[in-house]
Amino acid sequence: MSVISKNTIIIRNFYTHLKNIRLAAYGFTLRKHDALNSLSIAFNRTNRTQGFMLVPLGKQTLQPLSSQASKVENMQKIPFPLADIGEGITEVEILRWFVKDGQQVKQFDKICEVQSDKATVEITSRYDGVVRDVQYKEGDIAKVGKPLCFIESIAAETMRHVPETIEMSPLANIEKDKENAEVMRDFEKVLATPAVRRIAREHKIDLSKVPGSGSNGRVLKEDILAYIEKQQVPLKEESSSGVSSQEEQRRIEPIRGLRRAMTKTMTASLSVPQLTLGEEVVMDRLIDIRSGLKSTAEKLGVRLTYMPFFIKATSYCLSRFPILNSSVDANCENIIYHRHHNISIAMDTPVGLTVPNIKYVDQKSILEVAKDLQVLMDLAEAGRLGEEQLKDGTFSISNVGVISGTYTAPVVFVPQVAIGAFGRTRMIPVVDSNGHVKTAHVITVSWSADHRIIDGATIARFSKLWKSCIEEPEQLLLYFK
């Protein structure tokens, strides 16, 4: 005997059970399967007082049950391990569960959302069945290859070991249907970004109690911070000694997710000897050109900032100095030149630093680069960057100046060999070619490179060319493809 769906049960040895054909009177549909020599019994789940399921109870019985009856001995608990999601990832953080223990799932239903040190991934079911024994809580670290949970599903092998007699037993309580439905409603997940969920975990807040002001009731960062402020309780009075315990003066937070990735990357980067060079660049002509193009870009649905110009200028300079668009092998014995310019953009996200890249910048216009940049920014803000956006970067840039800072000393993202960083734009006095003093918009750019294969003269020439592209942006038109 085996369950093949919620509504259908197969009885093996069909001809030995012909005497039970009278079961049709109880609302079953009887179908003979010649290939299996079996009988398929389907019942009407809409009629809950006459719905039956076959449930092995030692001596096999035919038991009328509510549609919630799910404990069937010939259903086997199958481990649902965390699969290898590539890029050498060995562990992930559980961001949220889409299911709970006892919930019915189908193939490709979402099970949970996890975050590695490279990307956020949704894990889907590979089976039809019932979720059992969830192994982790949200915020826990799960190892690749270890079970996330178990899924109670039908094993083909169990059909070979089926007793041959069935009997009738009483009707089970069907009132649990309503209770289970209420539990499911309570379990429905609140819409929120991983950053908001992290804040909720840190403050032990039930997100379902936080009013969301975003679209579709999404809980925004401002919502949860306001909720925390309202819920704050005055601190306990200090002890008579006036000294709080050490436990009250510190908080321990595990290094996880993107912060762990940054830890690994920066540690590897500091093993490489690096040189840094800075340059001041006048932005006045680029500001005028961008102002003239901004409204046209907006009509095309594109937000045109200065970054697409910086990125395209970088790509042009890389075509003139291809060694800066290279990497070295593990033993630093070979230089690997990359044909295309996949420029990585360092982004400050709610969950930490991430560095997605725009592919094939060398083949794109400034407008196309602007579109791709906006897509990456939206994905990063939502915590939805995937492996495709994060892998295969060949050169990095960071626009830290949009936050603050004039001078920077960026660290190369190994295995790349160079990186650029832009400080904030300032209005300062400068001396023009005629010796006159005037005010100008000036940005400071800093370049760092792997000094094992790149010398100071090369990075200086690269910087000089980049400076000319920004100060005389019209020349970029000559190199568009």
- Is 161 assigned a catalytic role? no
Query: Residues 338, 340, 441, 451: which is the catalytic one?
Result: 451
For 461, half-sphere exposure in the C-beta direction (CA atoms, 13 angstrom radius) is 11
Torsion of CA 307, 308, 309, 315, to 10 degrees: 110
β-pairing, 129-132 with 147-154?
antiparallel
Beta-bridge partners for 142: 92
Report CA Rg, the chain: 31
Tokens 């690997």 -> residue: 336
Contacts of residue 330, Cβ cutoff 8 Å, sequence gap at least 6: none
455 tagged catalytic: yes
Catalytic residue among 84, 329, 392, 455: 455
Taking alpha carbons only, the member of 379, 369, 410 closest to residue 265 is 410
Residues 26 and 52: their CA atoms lie apart, in Å, by 8
Of 455, 328, 460, 343, whose CA–CA distance to 398 is shortest?
343
Q: Distance between CA 380 and CA 374 in Å, rounded?
A: 10
> What residues are labeled active site?
451, 455
